Amino acid sequence: MEPRSATTPDMNAPRVSGGTVFRLLVGFAMLPPAAGVLMFLTCLALWRLGLWIFEGTGGWDAALSLGIAIAIVAVPTTIVAAVPAVLWLIRGRQLSLGTLILVGGLVGNLPFVVILGTIVAVQYARGTLAWDVGRLWFGWYGAARAIVLGVSFGITLAALLWFVAIRRSEFIAQA
């Protein structure tokens, strides 16, 4: 038996139709705008309920600004983390709603982890790393807020991806 090269197709790989691939591409493409809308609606709800958890004052303009910011951050997060994670689950035939939700919760926190790592790395490189470096992300409150929102949004967007692009697809039938 001759060894498989990088260009040799994997005969055990799932066969999928063009329509299924298109649904998956549409699902990935809708994640950033959906994240922005989710943040916008979350901010409006928090503001109207008097539970504003962000710095500054709430309102339409703050909700719109945060929604746009989250949509922008969701683009590289989708490309760098969500797409490879879902393709990995598909290739390993481990794609289910439960695993997708779990991965969504983890991917939802990736932007905070990158920001946190960047802050600490820059502080360390400048030689100014201090014990109170947490103040740069608003301390424990800011960290908890980012983690809860990251998990919540990641899970919600993973469920949305499931229902738009994956449910009743060939990926599930072959799992």
pLDDT in tens, the chain (175 residues): 555 555 555 555 557 788 889 999 999 999 999 999 999 999 999 999 999 999 889 999 999 999 999 999 999 999 999 999 999 999 888 899 999 999 999 999 999 999 888 888 888 888 887 777 777 777 788 889 999 999 999 999 999 999 999 998 887 745 4
Tokens read off for 19: 């329509």
In degrees, to the nearest 5, what angle opens at C-alpha 87 toward C-alphas 95 and 162?
50
Q: What is the DSSP letter of 55?
A: S
Cα 23 from Cα 142, distance rounded (Å) = 36
Entry pTM? 0.84
8 A C-beta contact, residue 131 and residue 118: no
Q: Which amino acid is at 61?
A: D
